[in-house]
Amino acid sequence: MKKDAILSVDELKVRFYTYEGIVKAIEGVNLFVRKGETLGVAGETGCGKSVTGLSILNLVPSPGKIEDGKIIFSKDGKQIDLLQQDEQYLCALRGKDISMVFQEPRAALNPVYTVERQIGEVLILHRKEEIVGRVIKQLRKDLEKENNPIKRFIYKTELGLYKKMMKNSRSLYLKAASKIPIIRRYEHRLWKEIRKEVIKILKEMEIADPERVVDAYPHELSGGMAQRVVIAMALACNPVLLIADEPTTSLDVTVQAQVLDLIRRLKEKFGSSIIYVTHDLGVIAELCERVAIMYAGSICEVADVYELFKNPLHPYTRGLLEAIPHPDKPFKSIKGFVPNLIDPPSGCRFHPRCPYAMDICKQIKPKIREIKKDHFVACHLFGES
């Protein structure tokens, strides 16, 4: 794995088993992300960029299956293959070390729970020690000051319950306790702490009125506000890597600009790496340091963003950049259609549409190679065949 890369995807293969046939959605994707950098993954709809993001967290929905490959994540100085880990390990990882933000903000929020409850859920899952620790400290202070024997008894029982929570928040004992009417009041302290923390997080998301938003239900929030809440949920535990799957696509342009701004500022503040999946080259130019272009399930080109826009090497990248409408130039598009992934073209999947296609392109799939420093291309036009 490259040095100072925190995540590396090696030869990922994902297939979907449908009635019409086997969709070879991802065929050998190679990527890596460095610490603190924003990697853009760009491509047309259906090229597999979302599936790549989901595969990192092993959340590919059925009938999809990850067939092959390695996803190496650097955690606590060790290199761990995420695809080999069991569900329990991944559950501890998701939301804490690697978070994901989806495209439709209001769809990602459960309509029957308030914002406080939903962000609080992430806090309880991953920052339990910190928050319960605070509750216990406060409880101990209250216990010292209190003389009333009844209240002392109540505090002592609460203390016992919270100590249990510290050890194992999923224990059956606690679950039962939270169903019994009077006893469940012990949770009030916890939710008070959580509320404070959630308001703090919302303020960091630059939400103007956190007190109101905290109690709101998702259908009461605007699109931009909802997306900020979702981002807040993702960043609540300071993840090392944030996977953003077209988070601004469903928002209108002004709100989109605000959210992008926010993401940029948060990146600086928290130092997280971001994998930003999108089809919008403009957003990539705004936000990302490196870009990976994907087509029909594999990576065509990866480079520094300035380098890519200045010197696109892969014919597909060149086609994409030429297709950006410009007032002075005639309108140009890439001829042909996105291929059917049940029966993809042989060799290089782009060859039917490529103006520079050679015989070898129909037969052998080009491997991705470092042509210049930090500029990778998968094309037979470059490098030795």
Partner 1 sequence: MGGLQNYIIRRIILMIPTLIGVTLLIFAITQVLSPRQRAALYVTERTVGQIDDVIKKYHLDAPFYVQYFIWIKEVLHGNLGWSKKFTSPVLGMIISRAPASIELAMVATPVIVLSGIFLGKLAAVHRDKAIDHISRATSIIGWSLPSFWLGILLLAIFYSGLGWFSPGRLGDAATLYVTNPSNNFKTYTGMFTIDGLLNGQPWITLDALSHMILPVVSLTVQIVALIVRVMRSTMLEVLGKGYISAARAKGLNPKEVVNKHATRNALLPVVTLAGMLTAGLMNGVVITEIIFRYPGLGQFAATCAVPPSDLPGVLGFALFAGVLFVVANLVVDISYAYLDPRIRLG
Binding site for partner 1 (CB under 8 A): 57, 59, 61, 87-88, 91-96, 99-100, 102, 104, 107-112, 121-122, 125-126, 217, 219, 230, 233
Q: Which is nearer to partner 1, 157 or 178 (CB)?
A: 178
How far apart are CB 191 and partner 1 at their closest, in Å? 15
Instruction: Return d(Cα 118, Cα 198) in angstroms, integer.
Output: 10
Which one-letter amino acid corresponds to residue 100? M
Task: Tell me whether residue 116 or residue 301 sits nearer to partner 1 (CB atom).
Answer: 116
- Rounded CA separation 124/194 (Å): 8
Angular region, 36: left φ>0, alpha ψ -120 to 50, beta rest: left
Q: How far apart are CA 152 and CA 154, in angstroms?
A: 5
Minimum CB distance to partner 1, residue 198 (Å) = 14
Task: Output 215 or 261, the one with its CB closest to partner 1.
Answer: 215
Q: How far is the CB of 161 from partner 1 (least distance, A)?
A: 20
**Which strand ranges, in their side-by-side order, compose the sheet holding 78-81?**
21-34, 5-18, 64-75, 78-81
- Report the SS3 class of residue 334: coil
42 CB neighbour count, 10 Å cutoff: 25
Q: Which CB atom, from 100 or from 259, has the smaller least distance to partner 1?
A: 100
For the residues of 40-104, what is the DSSP string, one character each?
EEE--TTSSHHHHHHHHTT-PPTTEEEEEEEEEEEETTEEEEGGGS-HHHHHHHBTTTEEEE-S-
Nearer to partner 1, 173 or 356 (CB): 173
The residue among 54 and 292 lying less far from partner 1, judged by its C-beta, is 54
Task: Tell me the H-state helices in 146-296.
Answer: 149-167, 172-177, 187-204, 210-214, 223-235, 253-270, 281-287
Cα–Cα nearest to 122, from 31, 198, 211, 203: 198
Nearer to partner 1, 121 or 142 (CB): 121
Residue with smaller CB distance to partner 1, 44 or 104: 104
Cα 255 to Cα 120, 261, 276, 338, distances in angstroms? 25, 10, 17, 31
82, two tokens: 């995420």
Tokens (6 digits) for 240 = 């090392």
